[in-house]
Amino acid sequence: MKLHQFPCERAEDLYEGIQTLDWSKYLTPDLTLSVTATGKTEQLNHTHFTALQVKNAMVDQQQKRFGDRSDVDLQDPDVRINVHLDRGGCTVSLDSSGNSLHRRGYRPAVGFAPLKESLAAALIQLSGWQPEQMFYDPLCGSGTLPLEACLKSLHIAPGLFRERFGFETWLDFDPDLLDGLIQEAKSSQRETLSAPIWGSDRNPQVIEQAIANAKNCGVSEQIWFSEMDLADVVAPTDSGVVFCNPPYGERLGKIAIWARFINCWVTC
Ligand SMILES: C[S@@+](CC[C@H](N)C(=O)[O-])C[C@H]1O[C@@H](n2cnc3c(N)ncnc32)[C@H](O)[C@@H]1O
């Protein structure tokens, strides 16, 4: 949420600009704080220094007004501030998300080179896959692609698994409003899939992880994971969509599975 924008070239401009905001509206001394900075100007070209300068301006204001100041917590702060420097201007924002939104919260168990949940969801969205089509990932690892497809198909809002959002510690946070929105999201969920969703992988350990992740999402009864080598795969239905994130090159070793995969699917 954008709070303020002001011209800013030098460290002094930054300090003064930050102090023109009344920070008591967003932050009391009992709340912890972290500041991130992006962008630069000719003189403010070190994001770590920029963030420190902003934090100093904020806590100096608190100290003067309350005789007390917020502690800094870089891991799990109550209030996160972002400042962005660009073309001689500074934009100050409150971070409403908290921890990165790609961490849905259902996946403590991850295999080798897992896809980010949000990237998996975006790829599925772009692919044109429809929940009425069977979805199959023959290299599913910890199951991110089938799980995201399953959440989409069952209308399960991805944010439901998060422990909390950044805005939940804002001073004007309305818990009843959030509860209402959560209930609304839950009431639009579906019980059953329109078409099967299946993931398989040759590694039994990652299949165990995928099943654990499905349990965390509450969809282990709907989705199907099994241990199988790609070479043994046969088409599970007459039509559907194959969606996968194969191992490749430097990240996981030079495993030439593409030719086998394409052969396999053409055979199917
Ligand atoms: C890049 S990872 C997939 C990661 C997955 N998208 C996730 O989010 O966890 C590739 C997967 O392909 C699997 N794999 C490699 N060769 C295979 C084969 N011949 N048959 C089946 N699975 C295979 C590996 O076990 C690995 O889990």
253 with 143, same domain?
yes
Asked whether the beta carbons of 185 and 157 are under 8 A apart, the reply is yes
The atom of ligand 1 lying closest to the CA of 210 is 9
34 with 134, same domain?
no
Domain boundary among 94, 125, 146: 94
Mean pLDDT, the chain, whole residue set: 91
Q: Which runs of consecutive H residues, i.e. helices, occur in the chain?
A: 11-19, 47-66, 117-127, 144-153, 175-187, 204-217, 249-252, 258-267
Give the model confidence (pLDDT) of 209-235 as tens digits: 999 999 999 999 999 999 999 999 998
- CA geometry: angle at 187 spanning 179 and 191, to 5°? 135
The atom of ligand 1 lying closest to the CA of 203 is 25
Mean pLDDT on 64-91: 96
Rounded CA separation 98/211 (Å): 27
Rg for the chain (alpha carbons), in Å? Answer: 24
The atom of ligand 1 lying closest to the CA of 230 is 20
Say if 99 falls within a structural domain.
no
Give the model confidence (pLDDT) of 24-50 as tens digits: 999 999 999 999 999 999 999 999 999
208 with 239, same domain?
yes
Say if 101 falls within a structural domain.
no
Per-residue pLDDT at 102 exceeds 90: no
Cα separations (Å) of 260 from 177, 195, 229, 230, 249?
52, 27, 11, 8, 16
Instruction: Report the run of H or E that residue 82 belongs to, with start and end.
Output: strand 79-86
Task: Tell me the residue range of the domain where 184 lies.
Answer: 117-158+165-267
149 with 74, same domain?
no
The verdict on the CB of residue 142 being under 6 Å from ligand 1 is yes
Give the model confidence (pLDDT) of 143-191 as tens digits: 999 999 999 999 999 889 888 899 999 999 999 999 999 999 999 999 9
For residue 225, how far is its CA from the centre of ligand 1 (angstroms)? 13
Say if 138 falls within a structural domain.
yes
Domain count, the chain: 2
Residues in the chain: 268
What is the domain-level CATH number for residue 189? 3.40.50.150
27 with 68, same domain?
yes
8 with 82, same domain?
yes
The atom of ligand 1 lying closest to the CA of 115 is 8
Say if 129 falls within a structural domain.
yes
Domain boundary among 62, 94, 126: 94
Say if 180 falls within a structural domain.
yes
193 with 154, same domain?
yes
Say if 106 falls within a structural domain.
no
Say if 109 falls within a structural domain.
no
For residue 230, how far is its CA from the centre of ligand 1 (angstroms)? 9
Of 114-118, 128-132, 168-172, where does mean pLDDT reach its minimum? 114-118
Copy the structure tokens of residue 233.
């795969």
133 with 72, same domain?
no
Say if 66 falls within a structural domain.
yes
What is the domain-level CATH number for residue 16? 3.30.2130.30
Backbone angles phi and psi of 26, in degrees to 5: -120, -20
If one residue of 139, 233, 234 were mutated to test the ligand 1 pocket, choosing by the most ligand atoms within 8 A of its CB, it would be 139
154 with 68, same domain?
no
Rounded CA separation 56/86 (Å): 21
